[in-house]
Every structure is written in C-alpha cells, then in structure tokens.
Amino acid sequence: MEQVIQHSNPQSWYLVLSTILFSIGVMGVLFRRNAIIILMCIELMLNSVNILLVSFSAYAGNSEGQVFVFFIMVVAAAEVAVGLALLVSIFRNTASTDINVLSKLKW
Amino acid sequence: MNTLIFTSLLGFFCMVAEILNLRKLIGPVLVLGLALIFGLNQQDWNMNQTFYGMLQVDNFSVAFGSLAIFITLLVFILSSEYYADQEHHISDYMTILCFVLVGALMMFSFSNLTMLFLGIETLSIALYIMAGSKRFDKRSNEAGFKYFLMGAFASGFLLFGIALVFGSTGSFDIQKIAEYPILNSQNISPLYYTGIVLIIFAMLFKVSAAPFHFWAPDVYEGAPVLITAYMSTLVKVAAFAAFYKLVSAVFVYSTPHFEFVLNIAAILTLAVGNLMALSQTNFKRLLAYSGISHAGYLMLIILSSKSQPVAALLYYLLGYSVSTIAAFAVAMPVFKAANSENIDAFNGLGTKKPVLAAALSIAMLGLAGIPPFMGFFGKYFIFTEALQNGFFITTIVAIVGSMIGIYYYFKVILAMYGQPANEVKVETTFNYNLVLWVCLAISLALGLYPAPIVNLF
C-alpha cells in the first residue's frame, strides 16, 4: 500500500536551514570561549546534519538516511558523555570552564 | 569479521576481569589473545567476503588489520610495564585500548560510509579518554579536551559531507557513490562536490595533515607517553588506510580537481612538518611534527592512488610504526628516570647505556630514511610512485623535506653522544627491550629484503 506524501516545501529549504544551523555551530566552536557553549555548538552541528539527512531521506523515499540519524544520535551521546567527563576533570584541577585556561601546551 | 568480533570480546573480557577480580590475568590474556587474533586474521586472506553491504573483508583489510593488531600487541607488551604501578586502573585502560583497535579494524574494512563513520568515532572517542587519562595532570586534561574538541569538530564536517553525498547519490554504499559521477556525467549535482570536499577536510584532520594539523603537537605532548606511542602509530595507520580506501574507491573517478586540493595539502604538510620540527626541544613534540611530515610523504601515495600503490602504503606505514615504537620504547624508561620529556633527558646516554643509545639511533635513522632501514625504501617506493603519476614539484618538496628531516633526527643522536652525561640512572626491563629489538629487527630485515611486503598485492 503505497502512500504518496505531499511535500509542501521544496527540499532546498531544508538544505538552507541545516546549512545555516551548521554554520552557527561552526562559528560558535571557533569564537566562543566557554567550554560548555562549545559543546552545545558541536551538538548543533551534529543535529543540523540530522535535519539534512531526514529531509533528503523523506524526499527521496529512501529510509537509509533516517537509520543513519540514529547512529549519529548514539555517537553524539557518547561523545558528549566523554566531553563532559573531560570537562569535569579540568574543572576540578583549574576551577574554570573557560578554554583559555588550556594554554599549558605551547611550543 | 571474526577479527572484529574477537577483538571486541577481548575488550569485554577486560571489563569482566575487573568484576571477577582477575586483574593479574589481563596482561597475559590480552597478549595471548591478540596473538591468536593475529593468526585468525590471516585466515581471511583471499577470502573476499562482504557482510550485508556494510563490511568487506578483502586482502586490503587483512593486511592493514594485521599491521594494526601487531602494533597493538607491541603496545600491550609495553603497557604492562608502563602501568605496573597503577594496577587498580589496568582493566579500564586495557578495555579502552582494545576498542581503539576495534575502531581501526572497522576503518579498514568498511564498504559503507556508515561503517566508516562508526569506525572513526569508536577509535576517536576511546582515544579522547586515553589522552586525558592522567586525571590530575593539567597537561593531560588539556590534551584530552583539545583532542575531543578538534575531533568532534572534524566529525561534524565528515557528517555534513556524508549527508550531502547521500543527498546527491541516494546511497551510503561506496560502490554506488563511485558509480554516480560515471552514470550522471552530464549533470553532477554541486552537492556531491561540496560533500566530497567536506569529507576530504575531515580525513585531512584525522591524518593530521596541514592545514588541519594544529591539534597533533599539543595532544601528543600532553597525553601519557604510552598513549602518544599508540596514537602516533595506530591512528596514523588507520586514518591513512581509510583515506586511501576512500580516495581509491570513490573519488578517483570523480574529477581531477581534487588532485589539486590534495597536492596543495601535501606540499603544505611537508613544509610545516619539517620546518616546525627544527625548533622543538620536547621529544614528544618533535615526534609529533615528525609524524606530520610523514603524513606529508604518505599524502603522495594518496595522490597517486590511480596506480593502486597499496604495497608502498603498507610498507611505509610498517616502517614508520616500528621505528616510532622503538623510539618510544627507549624514551619511556629514560623519561621515567629523568622525570622530563625534553630531548636533553637523553644527554650522555651513549656513555651510560651504549646499547640503548645505539637502538634509539637506529630508530631515528629509520625515521630519517637512511639506508638500509625500512624508512629509506619506503620513501623510495613513494617517490617512484609519485613521479610515475607526474607529481614532480611535490616530490621535489618531499625530497628537500627529508633532507631537513635528517637534521632534527640527528639532534637526538647528538644529545646522546655529544653532550655530557647527567647523573640519572636509567633502568630498562625485559618488556621494553623485547619490543625494542623486535621493532629494530623488522626495520632492518624488511629494509634489506622488502620483497615479502612489496609482492603482497
């Protein structure tokens, strides 16, 4: 029983949306100094990819992309768990979440 | 596939051993188990199996898998000595190191971009933890967090690239992605090109090639020295094998423009790696920049992937890995005794421990590419491949770079023989010596007689 899905918006809108979100994430990682905000920006980058994959998948009628999104979610959760754990150990040693305290390693 | 399953089981064994209070068993079981897995891996030679379109076990993955297992085996032998005073943490460390190998094995045998992504993440997430595993050391914290931020950032680019490639080709399968530009040569979607460029950026990040190399020196310097040894060898092997597989299976057919991008990256990497290494005083940082310059030489193989230089890639990576591990096997006891990781910790080692000093000299000569060691013939094969494919300027830059390289590798040798001895007493143990001499024997034997590797493919 094939169900025809009517898409009200053209696919490129989703492409533009996810590109904008991805760029916001990239800018956040590059320019913000607070480690927690940087972590959130990385999440934003990964989630913009999820939007893109789901929209491609829906418009092409191909479910592979939606399965891939689950993998991204799992990996993002694992990544954030490790990132926050590292951040906690930094906070215990330096009492700060500003990444400017991370300047011990220079040539 | 069996290799992958049994390596994961080995990781689970380490976790269970902690619960059952069998920590003493972990070291011997891991070494024995990995040796068995190494043998099991050889069974897949010439089998060419695919698993649900996700993994493809062919001679490429068997050869590089064997190399990765061998490196891990050497690192496990070193680690039972390195972690001798932290026995209550040994199971955590060993579990994570096992899963690094699992990630690497996935990166050798992927035939679907999902598996490439999962392999890279399994490898990287485990290494973020290990780089920051000296919890009370601020430098280790910093290394772990920097590696995490850079790695996650690069993963974002990899994923965005994969999503765009999926959008244009409608598949994650590398075979179908490779067919797309051939079938649609008239109207290739711009999304496809953008996606491939983003994937290439992410892979350049992972192999620490310029202009995406800046994380490597900091992470290598701050991480515990055993983990630096593991990262500088296994990660380089895994990342380059995956990069080569991706380029040779997918991108070769698409367009010549990518050659230009990769060519610029190779020249930059060679220049940055060799020039920045000149002024280093920290040994781990020196080896990090040396690793970047070796990434530059390996980029020449990626460039000439049209002529399928798998044997040259394997040979070079093996030569680089054994020399680097041998260097770290000498450096670990010296750093521990001197409580410093600078090159001057080696001062006067030539008079105190002549055998150890000679071994480190051989490792350094191997990295510098002096005959009769593997480094020389590795470079020779790479340069011939590159010249046959017409990359004259890049090859000249690489040859000049390897001349500069001799200078900074000799800095270490000069410190050992030319400087007055410090009063630190260096003691090595059986495990360090075993790894050291195995590595040097391979470097010399395959240097004099490279046929077994060169004729593999």
Q: Please answer yes or no on whether B114 and A52 come within 8 Å at the CB atom.
A: no
Q: Measured between CA atoms, how close is A3 to chain B, in angstroms?
A: 20
Query: Which residues in chain B are contacts of A87 at CB distance < 8 A?
Result: 145
Q: Please answer yes or no on whether A105 and B155 come within 8 Å at the CB atom.
A: no
Which residue type occupies B265? A
Which residue type occupies B158? L
Q: How far apart are CA A77 and CA A65, in angstroms?
A: 19
Of residues B399, B360, B318, the one with CA closest to residue B70: B318
**Nearest by CB to B132, which of A45, A60, A86?**
A86
Burial category of B31 from C-beta neighbours within 10 Å (exposed 0-12, middle 13-18, buried 19 and up) = middle
Predicted confidence at residue A106, as pLDDT, reads 66
DSSP designation for B231: I
Half-sphere exposure of B37 (CA within 13 A, CB side): 30
Average confidence (pLDDT) over A65-72: 94
- The ranges assigned to domains in chain B are 256-457
Query: Which residues in chain A are contacts of B166 at CB distance < 8 A?
Result: 53, 56-57, 64-65, 68
Domains (ranges, CATH) in chain A?
11-98 (1.10.287.3510)
The residues near B207 (Cβ < 8 Å, ≥ 6 apart) are: B236, B239, B240, B243, B295, B298, B299
Which SS3 state, helix, strand or coil, does residue B56 take?
strand
Q: Measured between CA atoms, how close is A75 to chain B, in angstroms?
A: 7
**Nearest by CB to B114, which of A38, A68, A102?**
A68
C-alpha torsion angle, residues B325, B11, B24, B83 (rounded to 10): 40
Query: Which residues in chain B are contacts of A24 at CB distance < 8 A?
Result: none
Which SS3 state, helix, strand or coil, does residue B455 take?
coil
Query: Which residues in chain B are contacts of A26 at CB distance < 8 A?
Result: 153, 156
Look up residue B449 and give its two tokens.
């007689």
> A102 touching B, CB under 8 A?
yes
Average confidence (pLDDT) over A89-98: 88
**A87 touches A36 (CB < 8 A):** yes
ipTM of the complex: 0.93
Among chain B residues, CA nearest to A105: B218
Predicted confidence at residue B409, as pLDDT, reads 92
Query: Which residues in chain B are contacts of A60 at CB distance < 8 A?
Result: 167, 170
Query: Model's pTM, two decimal places?
Result: 0.94
Average pLDDT across each block of 10 residues of chain B; the chain has 457 residues. List them in order: 92 91 88 94 88 91 95 92 84 93 94 94 95 89 92 94 93 90 84 90 91 91 93 94 90 72 92 91 92 94 87 94 94 90 88 90 92 90 91 93 92 88 82 92 91 85
Cis amide bond preceding B224, omega within 30: no
Q: Measured between CA atoms, how close is B364 to chain A, in angstroms?
A: 22
Q: How far apart are CA B301 and CA B310, in angstroms?
A: 9
pLDDT at residue A86 tops 90: yes
Query: Which residues in chain A are contacts of B218 at CB distance < 8 A?
Result: 105
* Band of residue A6 on the pLDDT scale cut at 50, 70, 90: low
pLDDT at residue A1 tops 50: no
Phi, psi of A6 (to 5 degrees): -95, 120
Phi, psi of B339 (to 5 degrees): 55, 40
Q: Please answer yes or no on whether B132 and A89 come within 8 Å at the CB atom.
A: yes
